[in-house]
Structure 1
Amino acid sequence: MAYLTHLECTSCGTLLPYDVPQNNICADGGILEARYDEARLRDEVDRTQIEAGTPSLWRYGPVLPVLDESNIVTLGEGWTPLIHAEQLGRALGCSELFVKDEGRNPTGAFKDRGAAMVVSKMKELGIKTFIHNSSGNAAGALSLYAARAGLDCVNIVPDDILPSCQQQIALSGCRAYMMKGPWHESGRLVAANVEKHGWFNAGTLKEPYRLEGKKTMGCELVEQFGWDFPDLVIYPTGGGLGAIGIFKAFAEFERLGWVESSRRPRLVSVQYEGCAPIVKAFREGKDHADPWLDVQILPGGLKSATPPGDRRVLEIVRETGGTCLTVTGDEALEAAADLARHEGVFACPESATTLAALKKLLASGEAEANERIVAMITGAGIKSVDNFRPAQLPTISSNDLLPE
């Protein structure tokens, strides 16, 4: 049963219907969010019904926007493992470290959650062609989900897109164009083509439904912790959609009475030193991020020079008593190696920024050794193997005996 009631702009408060295609209406950072009949949800749905659901993000159907299950487009996304990283925690000096391994999603990244939701909703709304800009992982995910649904996806990507993402797009049969020039202008290029061709803009926070997919990361965290919150969530922040979604889930579950604790976790937002508009805004006490004009980071995610979720991310960080900080590419690569060596999880460098940040938080006292800490691992290392130093393995013959 569907409980979606309307869409609401978080900036101006305008209410919009959900049964026609909608894009964001405010240029000042307002987000168009889905709203649900929470009174009916409290009366008709409880946690045991959720627990009995399918092991995927679709178990949270009552608080998701797809009205007819026949429109669901799925590749098996969600319900990713929450791993108690005991060995890595001991090495870092904390006892309750957990990693949420989003690399287990079908295309290798958390982007599948947003892709599944927005493609399902576009199918439901009768949208045939959509366009967006992506540094890589979202393009791969949206292309493959569009292929699954029979929709036409147009991708605008940077010229240093990861080969794995480029291959995902190519094999899906969807269109992609590498944009020359500063990446922060890619949004303008998308908007111009929306105006010219009438395509639907599915870019980050340009519509309300990718957010609802990312929200399910927060839903899962609460359920996997026995319907409770962690103390600290460390998130690698590009456009900001994932962090906003997680905390939207926390707020909704709290209002529905599905969470044991009312102590909302602190958010730590992490960015690369070479593209840190949100961190800079936080340090300067601003409520918005200025464009980052000289992006110098490893190929892959966290390339958002003008993050559309900047205002909301900064609000959440400050409301929860969190912080923002940067790490280098080398620190991220080292943290990825630590995670693989101690826990057997192969993470992409942008994901491992969360663990590089944790080292700094523990050293500064901003994270405590006994706190329940979640480091979000948003993608698999196999998607960005070219960012790692080439492995040098010893060669032996068939007659050689190995040392003990």
Structure 2
Amino acid sequence: MKTNSSLMEPTVITSLYQLKCSSCQAVYDSTQLQTFCTSCQSPIITAFELAPASPFEVIDVAERSMWRYAKFLPLLSRKHRVSLGEGLTPILELSTLGNILGLDKLWLKDESFNPTGSFKARGLSMAVSKAKELGVEACIVPTAGNAGGALSAYCAKAGIQSTVVMPKHTPEAFKKECLAFGAELILVDGLINDCAQKVASIKKERNCFDMSTMKEPYRLEGKKTLGYELAEQLNWNLPDVILYPAGGGTGLIGIWKAFQEMKRMGWITHIPTRMIAVQAENCQPLVATFKGLQPNCSNYQGKATVANGLAVPRPFAERMMLEVLAESNGSALAIAEAEIIDNLKEISTAEGLLIAPEGAALLAALKKLLKSGQVQPYEKILLLNTGSGYKYLDNFDF
């Protein structure tokens, strides 16, 4: 049987882009595997050449995943796309809580609908796709939980070996998830920074590519689809306030990157959004730096938290997160463990949603911001829930 050879050719689906350092602007070869800037040890980002265009001309509306924005994702050939249907998660109106708090508009972007139950699916879909395109055969990641599950799943789909290094105290669901996908699971005493040290040791002995948060350029690109998606879902009218649970901060940076790209293309005329970073009191390096309590997070010592994903004592992209807060006139605050638990229960009973404790911290933060007058009841407010609360049940005694 003869086939049409033209149909067998790789389909180019992306715009022109280059890799450059987010700080010193050094340019890196996009045809080769890259990690972070060798000159100043800052994250490398993907910079696109963008021109004014209608979203209806470049969004693949028939694609029911984050890959509807493939024109703005740095994958050269569709044949390397590794997708499990990530993205297009709902924006839910929290009507009961909105009425209780006296708010005109309170929304929840619910990322628990993603494959593997968290927003990590976006970043790892993109990063594993690019790793496949560049010939990677094995990946490794330090994780607080959800990134490990997502890496395991996408590597399984791609036929790439995966190794996950995770704190021993992580809830069992996260561990079993990685094992189910065939990953090698290594448990470490401590937090994600201790896991990162173990990863560094393993890399000296094995040829495996490190997928650590912001230490390669492509997880950020997957996460930025959050920004494109919520703008499209809200008919290009951005929220006044977005509360984001900030561990490594990839989504915070990615959403803001998407907003900037859309503005350059004329999809939005201005960006009214204030980005609010929320952390746990047990581990609040960004908050401490934001408030001037330390010069940076390099020596910060954190503790474990029921919101496992917030236990990131030394986020590699701290400077970029602070830039987003400054550019958006945003702020950062921390929430106590008891408040996280109480607000998780309140959301569950009021709205019928069992969200991740990281997401529950946002409701507690919103109450503080309303009380202080930093957020007004008439503003459009969006909470970004990062994942499913079902994975965290070991952390709670309901």
Contact 2:238/2:273 (<8 A) preserved: yes
Q: Does 1:13 align with 2:22?
A: no
Quote the residue 2:113 is aligned against. 104
Aligned pair 1:276/2:288, yes or no? no
Q: Which amino acid aligns with 1:18?
A: S
Superposed, 1:234-313 pairs within 5 Å as 234-259=243-268, 261-284=269-292, 288-298=296-306, 300-313=308-321
Check if 1:335 corresponds to 2:343.
yes
1:73 aligns with 2:85: no
For 1:27 and 1:291, the matched residues in 2 are separated by: 21
Question: Does residue 122 of structure 2 align to residue 84 of structure 1?
Answer: no
CA distance in 2, matches of 1:384, 1:61: 32
Displacement after TM superposition at 1:219 (Å):
0.8
- The alignment covers a number of residue pairs equal to 386
Are the counterparts in 1 of residues 168 and 190 from structure 2 also a CA contact under 8 Å? Answer: no
1:385 paired to 2:398: no
Distance 2:99 2:329 in 1: 25
1:372 to 362, 380, 390: 380
Question: Do structure 1's residue 357 and structure 2's residue 365 form an aligned pair?
Answer: yes
Query: What SS class does the counterpart of residue 203 from structure 2 fall into?
Result: helix
What secondary structure does 2:205 align onto? helix
Q: 1:151 to 1:111 in 2, by over 3 A?
A: same
Contact 2:62-2:68 at 8 Å conserved across structures: yes
TM-score, with length taken from structure 1 = 0.91
Could you tell me how far apart the structure 2 residues matched to 1:369 and 1:109 are? 29
Name the amino acid aligned to 2:85: G
In the alignment, is the contact (CA less than 8 A) between 1:287 and 1:311 conserved in 2?
no
- Structure 2: runs of 5+ lacking an equivalent: 1-12
- Go from structure 1 to structure 2 and tell me whether the alpha carbon gap of 1:147 and 1:78 turns closer, same or farther (over 3 Å shift): same
For the 8 Å contact 1:329–1:349, the answer to whether it is kept is no
Higher deviation after alignment, 214-223 or 177-186:
177-186
Matches within 5 A, 1:194-233: 194-233=203-242
Change over 3 Å in CA distance of 1:377–1:27 after alignment to 2 = farther
Q: Percent sequence identity over matched residues?
A: 37
CA contact (8 A) 2:284 2:302 kept: no
Structure 1 alignment gaps of length 5 or more: 391-404
Aligned ranges 1:102-141 → 2 under 5 Å: 102-141=111-150
Using the TM superposition, give the Cα deviation of residue 319 of structure 1 relative to its aligned residue in structure 2, in angstroms.
Answer: 1.8
Offset at residue 228 of structure 1 (A): 2.1
Deviations 1:279-314 (A, max 9, x none): 011111766324332413126211101111211111
Cα contact 1:335–1:356 (8 A) shared by 2: yes
Please say if residues 356 and 389 of structure 2, whose CA atoms lie closer than 8 Å, have aligned partners that are also in contact.
Answer: yes
In structure 2, how many angstroms separate the alpha carbons of the residues matched to 1:215 and 1:263? 15
SS at match of 1:196: coil
CA offsets, 1:130-178, max 9 Å, x none?
A: 1110011100110011111110111111011121110111111111111
Structure 1 contact 289–311 (Cα < 8 Å) conserved:
no
Q: Which amino acid in structure 2 is aligned with residue 177 of structure 1? A: I
- Judged with a 3 Å threshold, the aligned counterparts in structure 2 of structure 1 residues 362 and 134 are, in CA distance, closer, same or farther, namely same
Indicate if the aligned counterparts of 2:152 and 2:162 stay in contact, CA closer than 8 A. Answer: yes
